[in-house]
Amino acid sequence: MAQQKTILRALAGETLPTPPIWMMRQAGRYLPEYRATRAQAGDFLKLCYNSELAAEVTLQPIRRYGFDASILFADILLLPQALGADLWFVTGEGPRLSTINAQADFDRLKPADAVHEKLAPIYETVKILRRELPQETTLIGFAGAPWTVATYMIAGRGTPDQGPAHELKDENPALFQQVIDLLVDGTIEYLSQQIEAGAEVIKLFDSWAGSLKGADFDRYALEPTKRIIAALKSRYPETPIIAFPRGAGERYIGFAEATGADCVAFDDSVTAEWAAANIQADSCVQGNLASSHMVTGGDALVTETQRIVKALSAGPHIFNLGHGITPDADPENVQLMIDTVRASG
């Protein structure tokens, strides 16, 4: 069955008549069934660490829509929490973490191989999903890429420009590199255990890669991704890996070859036509409908979906959004997108 899964075929380089489809943040607040389950869990972190409920919200969009892949429900900040950072969520505002501003802050963190005790419920969620997902549905595991996770660990929250992380890397590059190295090693451990538990594909989300320029992009976005992929491929050579250096622009070009990724996901700041000419020649691509179409719907959604499918039809392509679906999206628009993609073949 694994060889027949459309996501795995695309990741192996096959051009399919109809692209497989899944959606970033497909389990989430736009679905009423998700909101009900989250209320049952009590709060977001309790939901992440309750294996049965986390599996339930992961399965909800598969039951409703029949996506070709399911992505583990978790959060990129569970890893720094497992490394010893304090983590909590403020309603309406998002995550908060203890900060890293000095060597003493870093020294309080745990070594990379200490993450598994805290993250054991996440691995259990993967095991449940592997048992309960339909046979034709691919299970994707994931983690945040080191640069993106580091921006939260240094600032203690999300920031518009990742300014605190840029400041630390410029003023104390040795300490900043220690943070990156720990996250590289911790991510390898975390993703290895997801694969052991049953994840069939891995995705690395570098949501803030676009704020890195020039040599910094190479040093803190490309190189950590390359190190993680090399380690995972040495352990699990058959597991495909999707890299998403969001906002990379021209630096999407050659990213797959430089890092060893099997697929590059790209955001909607570049066009599908540009991606076909500049990325798809080297690898499978994933993308890139603007998530705003999930709110507005209508003819524009249909036209743009058809355009993307056509533009990327000459090579391996996984249809997805250019970023995660937003809480104000209309579930009916998701169905319209899926129907449009599947009518294209």
pLDDT (tens digit per residue) in 166-195: 999 999 999 999 999 999 999 999 999 999
| Domain assignment of residue 262, given as a range | 2-342
Active-site entry in 9, 25, 227, 246 = 25
Is the bond preceding residue 288 a cis peptide, omega within 30 degrees?
Answer: yes
- 37 pLDDT above the threshold of 80: yes
State the CB neighbour count (10 A cutoff) for residue 128: 18
Active-site entry in 30, 34, 65, 152 = 152
The radius of gyration computed from the CA coordinates of the chain, to the nearest angstrom, equals 19
218 is catalytic: no
pLDDT (tens digit, 9 = 90+) per residue, 86-144? 999 988 889 999 999 999 999 999 999 999 999 999 999 999 999 999 999 999 999 99
**Where would I find the beta strands (DSSP E) of 137-192?**
138-144
Q: What is the pLDDT of residue 68?
A: 98
38 is catalytic: yes
Written as six digits, the tokens of 121 are 């419920």
Active-site entry in 35, 38, 157, 342 = 38
Model pTM?
Answer: 0.97
29 is catalytic: yes
261: domain CATH number is: 3.20.20.210
Number of domains in the chain: 1
| For residues 202-206, average pLDDT | 98
Active-site entry in 35, 64, 75, 96 = 75
Measured over the CA atoms of residue 119, residue 181, residue 148 and residue 86, the dihedral's sign is positive
170 is catalytic: no
75 is catalytic: yes
Residues 6+ positions from 21 with CB-CB distance below 8 Å: 67, 68, 318, 319, 320, 337, 338, 341, 342
